[in-house]
């Protein structure tokens, strides 16, 4: 039996599909429905590991959190992780399938349609309703053949469609009209409404345009969402996140690697009132840094080449000499080492490269990918102060790191394994753990040590990151409730008024 559903498609990328999907999931859950998000194909370098060790896109994890349900790989059966300008690693139902270029993947898509629909059906069995998200735009007519993420997916699961347009970019009426008019007649019949997102100003001045557009395409406007900023992980906010710069007491510098992955690791710092995240894009950005983070990477060797050629390697080593603490996560951890090898070209055509040499360790890139959630106990120091307490996180990496020197271990895992290393009295730390800063005790400890070193009076204890996130989802839901015709959306889904 078909369950109620609706699909949010956009006039293009970054119009707000992901975050509006999350908000609608929270609204429906607030109304007593057990709701699941679904995106058949996601292209992103931000990923998450489920409890059963499967890899999925972070956007669907955010949406599942908003829906108050456990993330499941079925919510994102296909994840494409770009490894070059023309190729991606294809993650199928949480496991690595193979690397493919764009043409090879396009030819592979017909084989995926049945798998995607079967996966969707498993969610239908377990949930009251499903909110789907498209990718890019359904008006990319050159990609319509074999489509499994926009109108092709809507057809597979018989879903009504709502189109989202971003007015902040300008030309929202043309983009919605053009998107709709490029659809085939049967696809147009699925479109039951449109939403204008990211509006700044007096909505009454927009009404005449809305009326004219409704008359031209004969579908209703379901709401106008004002421009807002909430601290919610969102693929569509990538450019804003990298550009956002504030003046705060503490500056955490994150190296802007060309193949940066899982930049959502740093979201917890954004709720700290006295902390600024500064993404370092060139050698001129390395001033006034209190903590430097080398983040995850989808192509560690190529990113190490970038650090050498850009002059950023020298800047990082200079910060180390100046006693600025340096933290490497996953690929960033590998970069901290003395050597990275990739003899079988799993990520790069370069077989080996010297790392930063801040840790005497060698990483061998292998074909086997480690994907696991972990729990452990902190064991080491930061800026000379002892780290204590339990931490949780998840690992996603294809490298094995061997140490050439005995140093403090960063985390002792419950399995008896070791994750990471601490060097130079806690001034250099490397770890494979993504989500490490989600741990409130570690984040508080790190920031309070920095505050102490800068002579900032008193220590602070931040609120629970999970409670903070939940409050953000509630704020998002309220914003959408105030500006969307929610009862109409539920009617479109086949739920009716609640």
The catalytic residues are: 330, 434
| Integer Cα distance of 363 and 430 in angstroms | 12
Q: How many CA atoms lie within 13 A of 216 on its CB side?
A: 15
**Helix, strand or coil, per DSSP, at residue 476:** helix
Q: How many CA atoms lie within 13 A of 329 on its CB side?
A: 24
One-character DSSP codes across 44-67 = -S-EEE-TTS-EEEHHHHHHHHHT
Phi/psi for 139 (5° steps) reads -85, 5
Phi/psi for 474 (5° steps) reads -65, -40
Nearest to 330 by CA among 260, 380, 230, 272: 260
Residue with tokens 């999925």: 56
Helix ranges (H only) for 322-384 are 331-336
Q: What angle do CA 195, 479, 172 make, to 5 degrees?
A: 25
| Integer Cα distance of 145 and 119 in angstroms | 21
| Integer Cα distance of 150 and 133 in angstroms | 8
Nearest to 422 by CA among 465, 366, 456, 381: 381
Residues in CB range of 309: below 8 A, 6 or more apart: none
Helix 300-310 crosses helix 312-321 at what angle (to 10 degrees)? Answer: 80
Q: What angle do CA 268, 325, 260 make, to 5 degrees?
A: 55
Phi/psi for 404 (5° steps) reads -100, 0
For 238, other C-beta atoms within 10 Å of its C-beta total: 16
Contact 76, 56 (CB under 8 A): yes
């Amino acid at each position: 039996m078909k369950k109620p559903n609706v699909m949010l498609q956009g006039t293009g990328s970054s119009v707000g599909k992901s975050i509006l999907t999350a908000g609608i999931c929270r609204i429906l859950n607030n109304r007593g429905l057990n709701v699941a998000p679904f995106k058949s194909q996601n292209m992103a370098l931000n990923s998450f590991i489920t409890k059963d060790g499967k890899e999925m896109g972070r956007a669907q994890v955010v949406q599942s959190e908003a829906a108050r349900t456990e993330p499941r790989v079925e919510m994102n059966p296909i994840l494409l992780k770009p490894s070059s300008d023309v190729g991606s690693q294809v993650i199928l139902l949480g496991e690595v399938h193979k690397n493919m270029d764009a043409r090879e993947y396009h030819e592979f898509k017909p084989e995926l349609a049945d798998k995607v629909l079967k996966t969707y059906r498993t969610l239908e069995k377990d949930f009251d309703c499903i909110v789907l998200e498209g990718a890019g735009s359904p008006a990319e007519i050159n990609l319509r053949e074999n489509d499994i993420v926009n109108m092709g997916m809507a057809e597979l699961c018989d879903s009504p469609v709502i189109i989202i347009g971003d007015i902040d970019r300008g030309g929202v009426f043309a983009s919605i009209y053009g998107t709709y008019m490029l659809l085939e007649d049967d696809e147009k019949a699925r479109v039951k409404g449109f939403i204008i997102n990211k509006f700044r100003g007096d909505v009454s001045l927009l009404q005449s345009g809305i009326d004219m557009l409704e008359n031209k395409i004969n579908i209703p406007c379901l709401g106008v969402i004002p421009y807002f900023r909430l601290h919610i992980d969102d693929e569509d906010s990538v450019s804003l996140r990298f550009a956002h710069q504030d003046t705060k007491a503490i500056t955490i510098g994150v190296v802007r690697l060309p193949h940066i992955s899982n930049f959502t690791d740093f979201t917890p710092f954004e709720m700290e009132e006295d902390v600024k995240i500064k993404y370092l894009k060139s050698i001129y950005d390395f001033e006034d840094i209190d903590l430097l983070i080398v983040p995850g990477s989808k192509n560690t060797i190529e990113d190490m080449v970038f650090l050498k050629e850009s002059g950023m390697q020298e800047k990082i080593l200079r910060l180390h000499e100046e006693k600025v603490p340096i933290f490497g996560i996953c690929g960033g951890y590998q970069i901290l080492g003395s050597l990275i090898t990739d003899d079988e070209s799993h990520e790069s055509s370069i077989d080996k490269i010297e790392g930063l040499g801040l840790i005497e360790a060698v990483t061998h890139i292998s074909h086997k990918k480690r994907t696991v959630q972990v729990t452990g106990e902190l064991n080491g120091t930061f800026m000379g102060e002892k780290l204590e307490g339990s931490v949780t996180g998840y690992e996603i990496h294809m490298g094995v790191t061997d140490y050439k020197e005995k140093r403090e271990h960063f985390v002792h895992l419950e399995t008896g394994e070791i994750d990471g290393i601490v060097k130079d009295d806690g001034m250099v730390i490397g770890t494979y753990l993504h989500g490490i800063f989600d741990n409130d005790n570690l984040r508080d400890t790190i920031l309070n040590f920095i505050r102490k070193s800068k002579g900032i009076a008193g220590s602070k204890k931040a609120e629970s990151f999970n409670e903070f996130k939940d409050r953000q989802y509630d704020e998002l839901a309220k914003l959408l409730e105030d500006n969307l015709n929610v009862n109409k959306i539920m009617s479109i889904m086949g739920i009716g008024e609640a």
